[in-house]
Structure formats: C-alpha cells, structure tokens
C-alpha cells in the first residue's frame, strides 16, 4: 500500500502551481492571500490546489481569524524538492558491454 501512497504523492505534486506552493511552504508559513501574490491564478483555484495537497496529507494549516495559515507537514516533500533542485548534467553511463539476460545476449550496438 505504501507504494500506491508514494505514487499518489508524486501525482499530487506533479503540477507547477503545487510545486511552487510547496517550495514556498518549505521556507515559511503562508496564508492564502500571501499565495495570491506570487501565484497568478484565481483564489478559488489556489484553494483547489491547497485542497489537493491537504488530501494527500502533504500540508496542514492553522487558523488565525479569517486567515488560514498553511505549513508543510510531510517530510518526504523536503527531500523531493531538494532532488528537484539539484543539477544533473550528464546521462547515466550506458550498461557495460554485453550484459546478458535470460532472453537475449543484449550484445548489440546502441541504436539511438
């Protein structure tokens, strides 16, 4: 079941707006009207993205009067954001020469 949950986390964060929200929350508590300043989308759309993040248990909030103050709840997000920020210049080296599998020799030259 953990696997499905992880896939669900990935799905949930696979959106530019939600990544942006999470990056901001990784630094700071933010309420929705703070977010309206750096996100160029409607308030109700922001709320929908926040709902998606809440349903995946990635964020939570506390209430200050009519503000809802969101913060990051899930520690995996910190690590995922860090990986997403890293630079990865090169491709992995291809497999060593001629690995062998049950079905084939895997000997051939690489194609494209």
Partner DNA sequence: CAAATATATTATAATATTTAAATATATCTA
Partner DNA sequence: TAGATATATTTAAATATTATAATATATTTG
Q: Point out which residues bind DNA (CB under 7 A).
A: 11, 14-15, 17, 31-33, 36, 41-52, 61, 63, 65-68, 103
Instruction: Return the closest-CA partner of residue 57 out of 42, 76, 38.
Output: 76
Q: Sketch the per residue contact string, 42 through 81, with a copy of itself: x for CB under 8 A, - otherwise.
A: ------------------xxxxxx-x-x-xxxxxx-xxx-
Is 95 an interacting residue with respect to a copy of itself (CB under 8 A)? yes
Contact by Cβ (8 Å): 59, 53 = yes
Neighbouring CB atoms inside 10 A of 21's CB total 25
Residue 24 contact partner, candidates a copy of itself, DNA, none, CB within 5 to 8 A by sort of partner: none
Contact by Cβ (8 Å): 34, 68 = no
Dihedral sign of CA atoms 43, 47, 50, 52 in order: negative
Give contact residues for a copy of itself (rule: CB under 8 A): 3-4, 6-7, 10-11, 13-16, 19, 28-31, 33-34, 60-65, 67, 69, 71-76, 78-80, 83-84, 86, 88, 90-92, 94-95, 99, 101-112
């Amino acid at each position: 079941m953990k696997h499905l949950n992880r896939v669900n986390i990935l799905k949930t964060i696979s959106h530019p707006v939600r990544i942006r929200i999470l990056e901001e929350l990784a630094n700071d508590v933010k309420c929705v009207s703070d977010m309206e300043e750096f996100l160029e989308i409607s308030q109700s759309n922001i709320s929908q993205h926040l709902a998606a993040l809440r349903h995946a248990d990635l964020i939570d909030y506390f209430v200050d009067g009519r503000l809802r103050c969101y913060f990051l709840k899930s520690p995996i997000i910190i690590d995922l954001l860090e990986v997403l920020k890293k630079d990865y210049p090169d491709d992995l080296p291809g497999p060593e020469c001629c690995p062998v599998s049950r079905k084939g020799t895997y000997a051939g030259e690489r194609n494209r």
